[in-house]
Structure 1
Amino acid sequence: MPHSISLRRLSVMLALGAGLVAGVAGAQATTNVQLILDASGSMLGKLPDGQTRIASAKATLTQFLGGLNADAGLNVGMRIYGGGLKTGPQCEDSVLVTPMKGFDKAALQTQVSGATPKGATPIVYSLIQAANDFPKDSSRKVIVLVTDGEESCGGKLNDAAAMFKKLGIEVDIRIIGIDLNEKARKSFEGFGTFENTRSGAELGAALSRATATTQAGRYAVSSPKTAGAGSVVEVKWTGPNNPGDYVTVVPKGTPVGQYKDYFYTKDGNPGKLTVPLDPGEYELRYSSEKASPNPTLASAPITLTPPTYGLSAPKAVLAGSQVEVRWTGPNNPGDYVTVVEKGAPIGKYTTYFYTKAGNPGKLIVPLNAGEYELRYSSEKASPNPTLASVPITLTAPKYGLSAPATAKPGSTIEIRWTGPNNPGDYVTVVEKGAPIGKYTTYFYTRAGNPGTLKMPTAPGSYEIRYSSEKASPNPTLFSVGIEVR
């Protein structure tokens, strides 16, 4: 009794067929494909979820047909064995329900949905009949056989092979087993390409091997064999550029249908991909959204090497000051340098500059003195990783103000200041005890020392404050009192 298989697994196996069909269609002037569906009585057996094998096969074949493109020169037909479509002996119950003349998707899907399991499993008889279904010409010929069991009518697969040889027909035979038992699997050894799967990883590897040998030049991807992790890679591609065709990059051995960064082929040739930040062995894949899971139609290996990262800056600077930072790195899109408190969580940032802005770059460090880190990071992963870091100590600057003790209302006075003169530093006058961050008239320290400040017109007690725009609310870093009268 054959084991069960999930619809998802069968879908992936048929994606192999989709890749095969799509791949061969453009390689020759004409490609003839015959799908052979097992509608024998055993297909009524149920899967663990209660769905019958025939229901799974129908759903998957319908999905498979829906994902094929009606390329010029592609002829797709269907033969069904079992099902009582033909009167007479069960072991001759095999009918070409749709001839290989063009690609009539609706007709094929109708035949699939109408298949009713009944009778024996005449695989060899069906293959011999299929040999006579193909035209006797130089077109490419493909058979995709979907079955849940072995031959039950005493036929020998060697007889089918002999018939193809006798007729001078070269055919690429793909046998997709619905999780066949060991005896059934062995019955197909040495005949065509047999695929059976017990895990997603095995299936993905088998799919990659099969598609690599059957694309016949229609699909291809090429790029440098190595690239820096996280870098932008230019990829040249060969393919039909059908709607939904795309190129992606994934770790080597990733299951079929998965993707990371990608570009659609419609966007140009070559296209550009941002490869992952983690070094290792990867694959570039040409795929399509028109089948589920998206098949791998072509692939090429690429090794991602670890880039060199580094940062160089003064070991100590004044808090709130601007610091110049030299960096070493790949300068990938989204690479940046930031400053954070020592031991801050990965991905945290304060002020920053993108490496694309130049080398060295400039940062305004925080106003609070203490131990900090400069970090080289990237937006291309979440949380943004720390790719390089160096410690930096922020020392407390000295602040001071010198001004008259009194001033006349509305007058302009001269004020000397002491401070780091950081970008955004300013001196203002406010009422005594005003909230932090409040200001009236002011001058930026960058305007010179001393600076001039116009006093309020209302008499009273006031404060002159040294403050900064680099924190919110703007802090009072130093203050002196002044009487306006």
Structure 2
Amino acid sequence: MIRLLLAVVTALFVIAPSASTAQEQSRAILVLDGSGSMWGQIDGTAKISIAQDVVGELIKTLPDNQELGLTVYGHRRKGDCSDIETIIPPEVDQRGAIVEAVNSIKPKGKTPMTDAVINAAEALRYTEEKATVILVSDGIETCNPDPCAAARALEESGVDFTAHVVGFNIGDPEAIAQMRCLAEETGGTFRTADTAAELSTALAVIATPAPEPEPDPVSLRAHAIDGRNGPRITEGLIWNLTSPDGTILENQAVADIRTELDRGEYVISVLRIADEETVEKRFGIGSVDKQVVLELPEFRPSATIEGPATAIAGSTIQVRWSGPDQKGDLISVADPETSSPWINYTYTKHGPLLDLMMPSEEGAYELRYVSSDHRKVLATQTITVTPVEASVTPPDTLPAGASVLIDWRGPDYKSDVIAVTEPGTDQLINYVYTKHGSPAELMLPPDPGDYEIVYRMSQKNRMLARVPVTVTGLQYSVSGPASAPAGSDVQVDWIGPDYRSDIIAVAEIGADNRKYLSYTYTKQGSPLDLTLPLKPGRYEIRYILGQDRVVQATTEIEVTEIGASLTAPETAPAGSTIQIDWQGPDYKGDIIVVSKTDEPDRSYLNYSYTKSGTPLDLTLPALPGDYVVKYLAGTERKSLAKSEITVTEVTATLSAPPSASAGGKIEVIWSGPDYRGDIIAIGGPGENDQTYSYTKNGSPLTINVPGKPGSYEVRYVMSADRRVIATAPLAVR
């Protein structure tokens, strides 16, 4: 789009003929749009012609002492956003020259409206003096800059910048919004005009504005930074602020400055106490809040660092240093070609002589004192890291899964290892630490094939030596009976290397290598005993390598059904001991149990091992009710036989004196089951027994009375579950 811009950039632009206002006149620039669309017509007259007439009449009203210049854009080249020219600089008595230059414009090019305003503002030193812009435009910005953003930037950085805008024959809502924003962002006025008369009126209104009210003070915020683009400094600063009229702030020891100032020019300075560096800045205050940033030279406290000139890769050297030793300061080794402050480091808090690990790769490096203050490097020393060497020598014979001795040489740094890997990879299969010495005992992979024996340095997992090797296979076999009863022990013959933790196991056919039902270590020799599962079916016996539980050989076996029987009484008193006749496999750990009728096989109340023979004694529960007696086989506790039994109630009676002296004795007459371990006891209600005597001592029996007076009770206590089946009150006085 095409624009006519009249930009008057002044401290205060008031167009008035009276001599009394001559001293208020300031320098100004008229910016005129000379782009191609100015050939567009209004009522048969080209807009450029209308603009030339209106500007000519307006300039006649300016006083003789008005400094005025002319900037034109789009008047020389087509399609060029840089076609901006200040034809006449702002000077006194240029009215005739300006009118002649305006009348000679032949519109041609694009509309760099915003850049033209910025160009005019800079020509008028808007950051040092007041500046006002009058813009007359017939359309939208056609080059890159954003008028709103530019207006904000001019307002913020200028002493007192204002843009007044007239929209001339505008139909585009976006163009109107841009122009209104340009005016409002700078505190200016926006007008529209569709004819020559309206344009003349609008320019006359803008060119003779009403007197401005006294401006309010604006906010100043100032802070200091440590070096270019450095962090904000928050302590140890002294501030001064002055104006042409005198000192405003003097020797203020604060982190930053926050104050209110009137329009004008000021000088602010800051001193850093730590190194007495100082910097000052001159700035202007206009109608918007101001922020000032002062850049002090980067602060670097004194420090030194001293270490050897060379060191072997990965080794640990001693470094001596001096410096501020603030919390978080460190001594590091770093690559001077990168921005990182360290590869390895240690904190200065550990003392003036520190251990520092060198990088794993040879090359040129730097020792550094690195401050915790934004990681500043306070001191450096170059150091050359030289190559580190290592070697590994495996034996000639390398059986799969075997532990072999590997001779090695190397730096033996902390956590270095001798390892076996897949060829060309760094993934360790097995390893042993070099700290255990040379030769190192290394376990080979369980599978035959091609591998590599390596020396791996712990830092960066760098491989210092590699030797290709071939791991050879071994002979494996297992054999046993074709069938055997469930839960029985069978003899298994086997052939294999008998490595530590190798086992012979029985598992379900097709089960995972690590899922087996029972096992015996090969260290028990060949043949060895292996316990079969209690569940009948087909299984396989396996030779399993201890390393990674790899199955090396198998043979199948049929596990056959087994049975058992037992005979128990249909009823018996609670807590009594009964005899059970039984038949069964009598495997190690087999038991006869009594349990509640609805409980699983592994849950029972009392038991006896079948190894005690038949019949065997089984103690019944203390509470009456229905129960079941079971034969449970093996560690799986599989129930092979059962018989139901009813447990009946038992009773007891007590005859004892109603009272007794504390610490004395009483005689108690009783009747009851007299099971082994039954007692007559005295205790407080709800409390444990305090004194007692076994019923095996007969009736009557003598019991000691508690030594503390109070209310007690005499009890008949069954040994089974410590159940109390009779009580009598006793007062101890």
TM-score (norm 2): 0.35
Amino acid at match of 1:231: A
Amino acid at match of 2:359: G
Contact map agreement 1:351 1:365 (CA 8 A) in 2: yes
The residue that corresponds to 2:464 in the other structure is 296
Match of 1:397 among 546, 562, 572: 562
Other structure's SS at 1:236 match: strand
The residue that corresponds to 2:641 in the other structure is 478
Within-5 A mapping of 1:63-462 = 66-68=359-361, 107=382, 219-251=390-422, 253-255=423-425, 257-290=426-459, 292=460, 294-297=462-465, 299-381=466-548, 384-456=549-621, 460-462=625-627
Deviations 1:30-79 (A, max 9, x none): xxxxxxxxxxxxxxxxxxxxxxxxx998699x97972158xxxxxx779x
Bigger Cα displacement from structure 2, 448-457 vs 220-229: 448-457
- The structure-2 alpha-carbon separation of the partners of 1:436 and 1:289, relative to structure 1 and needing over 3 Å to count, comes to closer
Distance of 1:258 and 1:456 partners within structure 2? 61
- The structure-2 alpha-carbon separation of the partners of 1:22 and 1:57, relative to structure 1 and needing over 3 Å to count, comes to same
Other structure's SS at 1:423 match: coil
Contact map agreement 2:486 2:560 (CA 8 A) in 1: yes
- The structure-2 alpha-carbon separation of the partners of 1:248 and 1:437, relative to structure 1 and needing over 3 Å to count, comes to closer
Other structure's SS at 1:276 match: coil
Distance of 1:357 and 1:263 partners within structure 2? 28
Deviations 1:202-257 (A, max 9, x none): xxxxxxxxxxxxx9xx6332232122111111112123323343211123x324x4
Distance of 1:219 and 1:433 partners within structure 2? 69
Deviations 1:260-305 (A, max 9, x none): 2122222212111111111012222223233x461333x4443211
Amino acid at match of 2:437: G
- The structure-2 alpha-carbon separation of the partners of 1:394 and 1:302, relative to structure 1 and needing over 3 Å to count, comes to same
Distance of 1:323 and 1:274 partners within structure 2? 32
Other structure's SS at 2:398 match: strand
Deviations 1:164-188 (A, max 9, x none): xxxxxxxxxxxxxxxxxxxxxxxxx
Amino acid at match of 1:232: S
Distance of 2:609 and 2:571 partners within structure 1? 22
Amino acid at match of 1:447: S
Contact map agreement 1:412 1:453 (CA 8 A) in 2: yes
Distance of 1:247 and 1:378 partners within structure 2? 22
Shift of 1:353: 2.8
Contact map agreement 1:320 1:470 (CA 8 A) in 2: no
- The structure-2 alpha-carbon separation of the partners of 1:265 and 1:431, relative to structure 1 and needing over 3 Å to count, comes to closer
- The structure-2 alpha-carbon separation of the partners of 1:396 and 1:405, relative to structure 1 and needing over 3 Å to count, comes to same
- The structure-2 alpha-carbon separation of the partners of 1:58 and 1:108, relative to structure 1 and needing over 3 Å to count, comes to farther
Other structure's SS at 1:225 match: coil
What's the RMSD between the two structures over aligned residues?
Answer: 3.8
Contact map agreement 1:367 1:470 (CA 8 A) in 2: no
The residue that corresponds to 2:629 in the other structure is 464
- The structure-2 alpha-carbon separation of the partners of 1:455 and 1:236, relative to structure 1 and needing over 3 Å to count, comes to same
Amino acid at match of 1:386: V
Structure 2, unpaired ranges of 5+: 1-310, 316-334, 345-357, 366-379, 649-733
Amino acid at match of 1:478: A
The residue that corresponds to 1:160 in the other structure is none
Bigger Cα displacement from structure 2, 302-311 vs 430-439: 430-439
Shift of 1:370: 0.7
Structure number with greater CO (CA < 8 Å, separation at least 6) is 1
Greater fraction of residues in strand: 2
Distance of 2:432 and 2:512 partners within structure 1? 33
Other structure's SS at 2:474 match: coil
Contact map agreement 1:371 1:394 (CA 8 A) in 2: yes
Amino acid at match of 1:339: V
Deviations 1:291-334 (A, max 9, x none): x461333x444321111111122222221223333332222234
Other structure's SS at 1:281 match: strand
Structure 1, unpaired ranges of 5+: 1-20, 26-54, 70-75, 79-104, 111-141, 145-214
Shift of 1:411: 4.1
Contact map agreement 1:322 1:423 (CA 8 A) in 2: no
Other structure's SS at 1:430 match: strand
Deviations 1:314-367 (A, max 9, x none): 222221223333332222234222221122234322222333354444333222
Distance of 1:434 and 1:455 partners within structure 2? 16
Aligned length: 291
Greater fraction of residues in helix: 1
- The structure-2 alpha-carbon separation of the partners of 1:431 and 1:259, relative to structure 1 and needing over 3 Å to count, comes to closer
Distance of 1:107 and 1:308 partners within structure 2? 59
Contact map agreement 1:318 1:397 (CA 8 A) in 2: yes
Shift of 1:389: 1.0
Other structure's SS at 1:446 match: helix
Shift of 1:405: 4.3
Percent identity at matched positions? 33
